[in-house]
Amino acid sequence: MRIIIFGGAGFLGKKLALRLLKVGALAIKGNTPQPISQIILFDRELANGLPDDPRLKILAGDITDTQAIEALLAEPPDVIFHLAAIVSGEAEKNFELGMDVNLHASLHMLELCRKMEGTPVFVFASSCAIFGGELTETIRDDTAPTPQSSYGTQKAIVDLLVNDYSRRGFIDGRALRLPTIVVRPGKPNAATSSFASSIIREPLQGERASCPVGPDTKVWLLSPKRVAENFVHAAEIPAAELGRNRSVNLPGITVTVDEMVSDLQSVAGAEKAELIDWEPDAFIQSIVLTWPPQFVTERALQLGFQRDASFREVIEAFIEDELS
């Protein structure tokens, strides 16, 4: 089985690659498990920190380079994980770049899938940012997308394309609408939600962190570990179980920023929580406050997707996976 991960050098791409290496085989389209023979990680930079495994092939390139993507998909893969994206804050500040990467490159990829032999399983990393604006506080499986950012709009469009290309039989798609992923390893990035990881990650490493939103701000969260597990699970769900709606709101947990800091203090001590500087940022607040804080994800749970038990568990998993 041949698998391609677009955005494979990012923290989620690498988590997913490690998970696939561990499971060793996938059962797609209702078939028996097939051994994974190759996992290609494609990103702007070469993925590092991965084991020396003959099944891994690491490539660097630009997802907007149409010729490079055409060459990569000339040999049809069995499974595509599309995680590549310009993150929320950057897509809001640079409209053209967000459109090129998040929308046009995704459409080009789907068109190549339409023209290839066979029907690849196509797992797309969507986002809960497709919801926003004047909504009820709780989002349900039948809530219509009303994005209030360019990033959320671009994700919502690709969600619809994944559904339609699946309906037409061009791909066997599934679009996973991700909660805010916490705790992200590495350094802060341009994502509007970057603070949610920074206020945990930096203090755990003895560094100061800035929190641009108030302590009562609610955030819908999922850990990187659970995301990787859910991506693998998504690839194996039979099309008949998904039905006509290939978009799934992944399960998560709702916590306030104050609760996050309280759990940090409980796990690592009061001195860590004191490393957080409360510095309001109007631009970040203007986007974060449009995000709905509560989700009811009955469909995802029925399909077998998993969430974290508590935010304390999220912190402990980050310490074990990234700091120990």
Q: Please write the tens of the pLDDT for every residue from 25-68.
A: 999 998 899 999 999 999 999 999 999 999 999 999 999 999 99
Nearest CA-CA partner of 284 in 184, 188, 145, 202 = 188
Residue 251, pLDDT > 90, answer yes
CA distance 43 to 83: 10
Q: Is the pLDDT of residue 260 over 80?
A: yes
Is the per-residue pLDDT at 135 higher than 70?
no
pLDDT higher than threshold 70 for residue 106: yes
Alpha helix positions (H), 87-190? 88-93, 95-98, 105-115, 150-167
Q: What is the pTM of this model?
A: 0.93
Confidence at residue 46, expressed as pLDDT on a 0 to 100 scale: 95
Q: Using CA atoms, how far apart are residues 319 and 204, in angstroms rounded to an integer?
A: 8
CB burial of 205-227 (b: ≥16 within 10 Å; e: otherwise) equals eeeebebbbeeebbbbbbbbbbb
Pull the structure tokens for residue 178: 């991700």
What average pLDDT is seen over the chain?
A: 95
Q: 294 Cβ partners below 8 Å, 6+ apart? A: 137, 138, 139, 218, 220, 254
Contact 36, 56 (CB under 8 A): no
The runs of H, that is alpha helices, within 168-281 are 194-204, 224-236, 239-242, 257-268, 270-273
Q: Which of 138, 159, 314 is nearest to 246 (CA)?
A: 159
CB 219 within 8 A of CB 193: yes
Mind listing the domains of the chain with CATH numbers? 2-179+222-251+294-308 (3.40.50.720)
Which of 145-149, 269-273, 280-284 tops mean pLDDT? 269-273
The residues that are catalytic are: 151
Cβ-contact 84, 63 below 8 angstroms: yes
User: Strand 121-127 relative to strand 138-139: parallel, antiparallel, unpaired?
Assistant: unpaired
Angstrom distance (rounded) from CA 220 to CA 294: 7
pLDDT of residue 169: 97
Structure tokens at 103: 């929308």
Geometric angle at alpha carbon 277, from 271 and 283, rounded to 5°: 150
The pLDDT tens digits for 200-247 are 999 999 999 999 999 999 999 999 999 999 999 999 999 999 999 999
User: For 151-156, which contacts have Cβ atoms below 8 Å and span 24 or more sequence positions?
Assistant: 151/85, 151/86, 151/87, 151/88, 151/91, 151/92, 151/98, 151/102, 151/127, 152/88, 152/127, 154/91, 154/98, 154/99, 154/102, 154/103, 155/85, 155/102, 155/126, 155/127, 155/129, 155/130, 156/126, 156/130
Structure tokens at 311: 């935010």
* Neighbour count for residue 188 (Cβ, 10 Å): 14
Question: First vs last Cα of the chain: how many Å apart?
Answer: 33
Instruction: Return the residue matching tokens 């399983």.
Output: 121
